[in-house]
Amino acid sequence: MANVLQQCFPEIRTREAVIRVISESEKLRSVWVKWNDQQQNVIDAQKEDLSKQEEAITHRAS
């Protein structure tokens, strides 16, 4: 099933897309490398939250 939230909100990006943007910007990359693992992994936590929200939306729509 396609990601419902990304269909409705195309500005939501995958971790890979965010990392790509960070790696393309010297300024963002310099901030990123200063973050510890927990801070860098907040992207994954947010993605999990979005997945849960998507499941709830899909469940309500059925």
Q: Furthest-apart CA pair in the chain: how many Å? A: 45
Q: What's residue 19's pLDDT?
A: 86
User: Measured between alpha carbons, how far is 51 from 34 in angstroms, rounded to an integer?
Assistant: 28
pTM for this model (two decimals): 0.54
Tally the C-alpha atoms within 13 A of residue 44's C-alpha that lie toward its C-beta: 5
Q: What's residue 7's pLDDT?
A: 80
Residue 39 corresponds to which tokens in the numbers above? 């801070």
Q: What is the pLDDT along the chain (62 residues), one digit of tens a residue?
A: 447 777 888 887 877 888 899 899 999 999 988 988 888 777 666 666 666 766 777 777 66
User: Measured between alpha carbons, how far is 31 from 39 in angstroms, rounded to an integer?
Assistant: 11
Q: At what angle do helices 15-24 and 42-61 cross, to 10 degrees?
A: 140
Q: What's residue 49's pLDDT?
A: 67
